[in-house]
Amino acid sequence: MPGNREENDKLVNLTLPIREFQLFLFSTDPVTARKAINAGIDAIIIDWENQGKKLRQENFDTQINYDTYDDLCRIRDAVPSGQLICRINGFSKEHTPMEVELAIQAGADEIFLPMVCDVEQVVQTYNLISGRAELNILVETVQSLECLSELSKLDLNRAYVGLNDLHIQQNSRNIFVPLMDGTIESVRRHFDISLGAGGVTYPPNGRPIASKYLINEYARLGIDFSFLRRTFLKDHLSMDMDYMVHHIKTAYYNALLRTAEQIEEDFRYFREQVGSWTANPHYI
């Protein structure tokens, strides 16, 4: 198996990048969660978002999770303080207050609010949390892109560009179009907090565009965290997890060191790959 313990021990002393690339993993398994944290993954996410998701993502290659309160409690017992995140459902006066309370009661350190459509939704969620956890938002609707200036003034911990839902709303060719059409640059200019997008895995892997090319673009755009792809755990069947994590973070670090010419050449290749791939069944 690649990435044996002796190899990984040699990697520990390598200099970390000034702007570290953080990685978050979706998992409801305590054994996997503990292994992930020990391997250098920065947080575990429990995903409660499923309301309306099946309808809006129908016919698209996405994953819907049905994680529970018990899952959150179980992972809380498995990972250190500060490394547990809960993604709740999009804002609703009916269920958001209860979901916030349950997430905090179970020990979530951070709460992600998805499908943000206006500033008031975020303000109300922030007030519900009342300093008991950090608030993060997902920028994945056309409406959220239209109120970036107002959103950027709020006391947020992180923002994450949800490429799947954004590409569905924009009816773009595939999920990576926002990385080359100025959308991500616009979001980055507005926010001075940690900004994420997904998802990555072991750099040579990933279809139809290898993860290493995606990591290059994240370094160029100032993206500093990502959710790990569904395939990450499949890749782990043949590689040690700490080996994969090291190579993902090293790929990001190396991408930061590229010359202007290398950055332009890599972007040109990425643009060609994105332009040749159509994943949207409704794209014309």
Question: At the topology level of CATH, where does 18-199+223-229 sit?
Answer: TIM Barrel (3.20.20)
- Distance set, CA 282 to CA 57, 170, 177 (Å): 12, 11, 15
Is the confidence at residue 199, as pLDDT, over 50?
yes
Long-range contacts of 129-136 (CB under 8 A, 24+ apart): 129/100, 129/104, 132/104, 133/103, 133/104, 133/108, 133/109, 134/109, 134/110, 134/158, 135/110, 135/111, 136/85, 136/110, 136/111, 136/112, 136/160
How confident is the model at residue 123, as a pLDDT? 99
Is the confidence at residue 60, as pLDDT, over 50?
no
What mean pLDDT is predicted for residues 20-30? Answer: 97
For the chain, percent of residues with pLDDT exceeding 70: 86
Q: Tokens at residue 229, please?
A: 């792809």
Q: How confident is the model at residue 6 (pLDDT cuts 50, 70, 90)?
A: very low
Q: Tokens at residue 255, please?
A: 């991408």
d(CA 17, CA 250): 8
Cα dihedral sign for 174, 177, 233, 49? negative
User: Tens of pLDDT along 96-114?
Assistant: 999 999 999 999 999 999 9
How confident is the model at residue 15, as a pLDDT? 43
